[in-house]
Chain A
Amino acid sequence: MTVLDDRPETAAPAPRRRPNRLLALLRNSWRQLTSMRTALILLFLLAVAAIPGSVLPQRGISPEKVNEYFVDHPDLAPRLDRIGAFEVFGSVWFSAIYLLLFTSLIGCITPRLRDHARAMRSRPPVAPKRLQRLPQHAVLPAPAGGAAAVAEVLRKRRWRVEVRGDEVSAEKGYLKETGNLLFHTSLIAVLIGVALGSWYGWSGNRLLVAGADNAFCNTRQQYAEAKLGPRVDSEDLPRFCLRLDDFQARFLATGQPEFFNARVTVDGPDEPTRSADFSVNSPLRLADASVYLLGHGYAPVIRYTDRFGRSQVSDEPFLTTGDSGLTSEGLAAFPDANVDPATGRRAPDEQMAFTGIYLPTAPQQAPFARSEYPTERNPALNLVAYRGNLGLDAGIPGSIYQLDQRQVRTGKVKEVGTKLLRKGETWTLDDGSKVEFLGTERYVTLSVRHDPGSTILLVSCGFLLVGLMGSLFGRRRRVFFRVMPADPAEGSPTGGSSLMEVGGLPRTDYPGFADEFAQIVAAVSGDERATDRADTDADSSDRAGVREGAE
């Protein structure tokens, strides 16, 4: 059985003149790059290069884990960082591999596209002189209709047929190369889709606390983290606003979540005002953005009444710590506390802050450190009060979820006391000021995204699959028939009537070709019964997909 290379040999004519060395070098490099061996090596490198991306934490996925890694491995981490090990999939070397691979791919399929377009238009080639040299060969009595009858049988079997006098050439299985090229072209389209998405796409993440006061509008500043593609400006973001009206969650007895639903009011110039529900797995689809529900938690509502009797309320979200009981940590800061109403002057050393752990279902006795269940069965807020300069006025960006620890270390902020508060309880501090735990609001973690490349991605993935199947299951093969004039001198066994010689050539690895060849020969010689039987055999073996051919 003959196995032909997928890639046609490029028979370069011998150069007459001494070639330009630079050109020769370029041409040879190009040939090297587009060779299958190079492509295989690049594929392998691509697989190997992806491994660190799963072993090491990645900035794009979990920046906080990258920071942890820097703390845990202070020597190794900066060195790894320099070679881009924390951003593997955007690193120079990873990009170099896949760009080379795609260049190699383009270099490979462009000539093949041209060749295939030509082959699709061309007629099956002239039959070789010695059919007996082909992998499949048979001699049979010529059918009554001669070459025309043979051509008819082959056409019925959807072969491309060319009759040249007493010779019939037929070819079938163009689908293999078509599929092959479609698959590889689709891969390029996938890459284009990804590139479009990253150039023209944008995304932002934020927490959204329930209530009209906490509504947000889609601008860059409103996101805790926003990523805009290089071709997107802040002004390009579609204008709409979202307000969380309600959030529902159901859990099993074990604390495993069972159901989430968020109800929001959408509003804004680019969106009709409406109420909409969305959930995990069913995002809110807006005209030019989608809103995804990524997480949820509680925002304790804390009212602080300072020693002058003025109250302020904080409903900052407390971040979940990752356990199934939704134990959350957070900060309620009151930088404007203790402003003397007589003078209107701020007392920078008398700002107030409360760090706390919120337990939706606190245990019956101490320690009150871990919530037992994610819904509010026994809510308790474990607060630590701090007084002093919170360091918010220094202009250094800090987290709104954590107290600035530098201020604590330098003694500018001092701990005043700790207390466990139930809903509605009040805690009077040493200076007569009061803290009240009023209740909680729900909040959701949202991701708002727009990816203009996704349609191209989806469509090209569809073509990719179709092409892949064609390329894997298509089989290109040729058959040739030649009616030989009867030669009475040789004493033909058919008694003077003419004979027909048949040759078959599989152009790709096709173990079942012998069977198919036998069927065709049988069909041409008019043995219909044999044909039917052979047909069913072929069908069943195709279904099994494990055909091994005639042995």
Chain B
Amino acid sequence: MSALSDNLVSFAILAYLVAMISHAVEYALGNARTRVAAAPVRELVGAGVGGGGASVPTPPAPVPPSGAAERSARRARIAGLVAVGATALAAVLHLAALVTRGIAADRMPWGNMYEFVLTVTFIGVAAWLVVLWKRPSLRKLGLFLTLVMVLLVATAELVLYVPIVPLVPALNSYWFVIHVSTIVFASGIFLLGAVPAVGFLMRAGYEQGKRSFPYTLAKRLPAAVSLERLTFALHAFAFPIFTFAVIAGAIWAEAAWGRPWGWDPKETWAFISWVVYAGYLHARATPSVKRNVATWLAVLGFLTMLMNLFGVNIFFTGLHSYGGLD
């Protein structure tokens, strides 16, 4: 069962790769159509962002496409659908890998860093499929999401992998399920939220007429306004869950270590992430703060989450040393 789980992870990575390549193909083929559309969108949104409001750009009048452009647009759409299909397949394989791992270990598969990253990425992709189902127009964001998936799941497989062992007594508590599941869930949503956040920063620059390197990547991303809204919605959804998870952790820490909060490195970084994300939500709600600045805070928040996951497990020793890495 354990070997099956390992194989499933490899297959999931392959499927994410296929999805990423298909998204890239869609991106490349989408050239002809969006080149026409880009210019008017820029002006409209530039005005909307400046006013701090959320005025929605009206789609530009459809330009009658030439035969070649039409063909390439059709191919792009097929590539996009293949990409979504591959992502869904990858998510199923990913879930199967988690379930088999859990069965093999006879516990929830969140006992070490490998399993943790695997679960967080699964939550991220599952939430992405939900978003995609609700808002199919955001599909092109998938390129960046699948890129993140390939990177993180491959890192988990290649660097973080550890064989199955039972939980240490310190983890053997029902709080393990409550605390870790909510942390995993919130982390997965924050992971997904970071993708439109970065996308927004690039796209907003592009719409303001910046044509240097990172901004040109955003040429075919959805409009900055919808990326920004998605960013906020995901963070507003994840933040209370993360808060609950930290509180649950404090309740557990009181039972296990005798104090609800002890500034263990992991706790310190969770505090930092919480403060940064709280800063993002406040900045987002304050009209005088530019949306760019607020979104940078969201990106910074995700960096602190990454630091907490990788940095704290690898560089610091503390009470949360369950990573399984030596």
| A residues whose Cβ falls under 8 Å from a Cβ of B | 1-6, 36-37, 39-40, 43-44, 46-47, 50-51, 53-55, 58, 60-61, 88-89, 194, 203, 252, 254, 256-260, 279-283, 290, 292, 294, 447, 449, 451, 454, 457-458, 461, 464-465, 468-469, 472-473, 508-509, 511, 541, 544-549, 551
Contact = CB atoms under 8 A, between A and B. Distances in A.
A546 B135 contact: yes
- Main secondary structure, interface of A, reads mixed
B255 A43 contact: no
Given A3-B287, A280-B170, A547-B233, A449 B258 contact: yes
Interface string B137-156: 00000000000000000000
Given A464-B243, A509-B285, A54 B268 contact: yes
Contacts of B243: 464-465, 468
A61 B262 contact: yes
Given A46-B275, A47-B276, A283-B255, A465 B247 contact: yes
B135 A458 contact: no
Given A47-B275, A47-B279, A548-B226, A472 B236 contact: yes
A257 B258 CA distance: 20
Contact of B134 (A2, A47, A546): A546
Contact of A548 (B230, B240, B285): B230
A506 to B, nearest CB: 11
Contacts of A51: 268, 272
Interface string B237-251: 101100110010011
B314 interface: no
Contacts of A61: 262-264, 318
Contacts of A548: 135, 226, 229-230, 233
A254 B254 CA distance: 29
B169 interface: yes
- Main secondary structure, interface of B, reads helix
Contacts of B256: 280-281, 292
B169 A546 contact: no
B4 interface: no
Contacts of A511: 54, 229
B47 to A, nearest CB: 14
Nearest to A58: B263
Taking residues whose C-beta sits less than 8 angstroms from the other chain, chain B's interface range is 35 or more
Given A6-B286, A47-B275, A54-B269, A282 B55 contact: no
B177 to A, nearest CB: 13
Contacts of B244: 465
Given A3-B53, A43-B279, A89-B263, 8 more contacts: A3-B287, A36-B289, A37-B286, A40-B282, A44-B275, A47-B304, A546-B233, A548-B226
Contacts of A39: 282
B260 interface: yes
A444 to B, nearest CB: 13
A472 B168 CA distance: 37
Contact of B173 (A260, A281, A547): A281
B126 to A, nearest CB: 13
Given A46-B275, A551-B56, A252 B169 contact: no
B34 interface: no
Contacts of B55: 1
A546 B234 contact: yes
Interface in B170-203: 170, 172-173, 175
A203 to B, nearest CB: 7
B53 A2 contact: yes
A293 to B, nearest CB: 9
B273 to A, nearest CB: 8
A259 B169 contact: yes
Contacts of A259: 169
A507 to B, nearest CB: 12
A106 to B, nearest CB: 16
13 contacts: A37-B286, A43-B279, A61-B263, A252-B165, A256-B166, A257-B168, A281-B170, A454-B260, A472-B240, A546-B130, A546-B131, A546-B135, A548-B135
B211 interface: no
B290 interface: no
Given A292-B258, A454-B260, A473-B236, A260 B169 contact: yes
A155 to B, nearest CB: 29
A469 B134 contact: no
Contacts of A454: 254, 260
Interface string B109-148: 0000000000000000000001100110000000000000
Given A6-B285, A547-B233, A509 B54 contact: yes
A279 B169 contact: yes
Interface in B67-105: none
A46 B277 CA distance: 13
A260 B256 CA distance: 12
Given A6-B286, A43-B278, A546-B233, A54 B259 contact: no
A508 B278 CA distance: 18
Contacts of B168: 256-258
B299 interface: no
